[in-house]
Structure 1
């Protein structure tokens, strides 16, 4: 059992939790993820690590309530416990294996969209603690949905904020902002690390191909089981079949077949809607079996 020490609502339907997990905290590295389970009847939820503290023995997670499982998780409070908290899983970010001097000679920019802001935090924190300066772009639909701006600002050399509706910062998409930084402000980058919605990463890589900038993306949003056994996170990278959870979650963005990944990501939307309907009906004291295969799911 793993105790929740802190809980915070970052934005509408986006929560941050700090959990006491000694073994995971001591082994965690930037880019990795964990799998949590609320109770023994709950499904497994893969979440990229937002932060970790080896001394305090804590791991921080950030999640958005998109389905029945994350809604259930959002109802946990400080003092409650997760039944399971497995990790760290997946491969760490590749840059942690590079020499510090090589990294200091690179111009790196992180680009995050929505909840993708959370997993870039431990990466830029790791780099900043070693004297490596990075630029960061974070984007959201509007100011209300922007998360972790102050935390990111403390670790980044330059922070740029974009909102789709122009309610805060740059008005437009993160791709537009990156293009402006390169074309209008003469910024030069050797590496782009992008984490966010699949469609955002697709168009980031399309843009960076034009500028011949190496780009790393995280396919954490594809993961379901987190062990490679379910096959839900299969993706084609460089003509080869990979599994986001065991081979990633980070990959060379220029080699990812994003259209295939987008199709795979949409496969479970129907099932999730059914589950949400069932949970709602259970709360109301009745489960309608019509359209659910004649059984409660």
Structure 2
């Protein structure tokens, strides 16, 4: 069992959870993920590490309650425990050698991009962090990013934070201003990553994109996370999750990303139905 040490609602949709997992905390690196299972009747789901504390022996995850399992996970409290918490899985993000980087997070992807920004900042890299959200109430990790970056730019779709626009617009502006990036890392919706890669390609800037949104079982067995990179299909969970953004077939990835929506919807409805039967639906 893996004790839950802290639970914090970051907004109405997103939860931060700190898990006691000493062996994983000593090894996990930015970009890697874990597989968790709440109980014996639960499914295994992958979640990318948001932070870790090797000395305290904890790993932090941030998730949005959008499916049956994440919905149930969001109801757990400090003092309870998870049955399984396995990792680290996947390959760490290739950050060595960067001198001036831009880390881009879209929505919940900001939580996954944070450890890369933190690592770069701690290793003396000049790092800009550009994040995008629907509105100001959904902004994540503003304080933490401010402490672990050279510059932070937050964009909102509706301009409610006073900065309306897309992350790609902010990226293009920084490039036009002379930001000589040698690495751009994007984590977020596939469509966002597609246009980030399109923005950097004319300049030949090394661009990594995290294809973690496609993962299902996290072991390469299900094939659900196959992503076309150049002329071959790779598995996001075992070959990635980071890939060269200029080689990823994003259109193929978006088609694959909607394949399981009906199954997830059915699972969520079944979970909500059980809650109602158990008197938890009020």
The interval holding the TM-score normalised by the smaller chain is over 0.9
Q: Distance in 2 between matches of 1:179 and 1:118?
A: 22
Q: In the alignment, what sits opposite 1:55?
A: 55
**Contact 1:50/1:121 (8 A) holds in 2:** yes
The one of 206, 225, 231 aligned to 1:214: 206
Q: Distance in 2 between matches of 1:41 and 1:58?
A: 25
Q: Distance in 2 between matches of 1:174 and 1:120?
A: 14
SS in 2 for 1:255: coil
Q: In the alignment, what sits opposite 1:292?
A: none
Q: How much has 1:285 moved relative to structure 2?
A: 3.0
Q: In the alignment, what sits opposite 2:88?
A: 88
Q: Distance in 2 between matches of 1:284 and 1:151?
A: 38
1:173-206 deviations in whole A, cap 9, x for unaligned? Answer: 10111112222x2322221100011111011111
SS in 2 for 1:5: strand
Q: Distance in 2 between matches of 1:20 and 1:284?
A: 31
Paired residues, what number? 278
Q: In the alignment, what sits opposite 2:249?
A: 257
SS in 2 for 1:254: coil
The one of 151, 164, 168 aligned to 2:157: 164
1:19 aligns with 2:11: no
Q: Distance in 2 between matches of 1:34 and 1:169?
A: 36
Q: How much has 1:29 moved relative to structure 2?
A: 0.9
**TM-score normalised by length of structure 2:** 0.96
1:144 aligns with 2:141: no
1:153 aligns with 2:153: no
1:205-252 deviations in whole A, cap 9, x for unaligned? Answer: 111112322110000110000000010001110111100000000000
Structure 1 gap ranges (5+) = 287-297
Q: How much has 1:169 moved relative to structure 2?
A: 4.3
Radius of gyration: which is bigger? 1
SS in 1 for 2:258: helix
TM superposition outliers: structure 1 runs of 4+ over 4 Å:
none
**Contact 1:37/1:82 (8 A) holds in 2:** yes
Structure 2 gap ranges (5+) = none
**Contact 1:50/1:119 (8 A) holds in 2:** yes
Q: Distance in 1 between matches of 2:152 and 2:274?
A: 45
Q: How much has 1:125 moved relative to structure 2?
A: 1.5
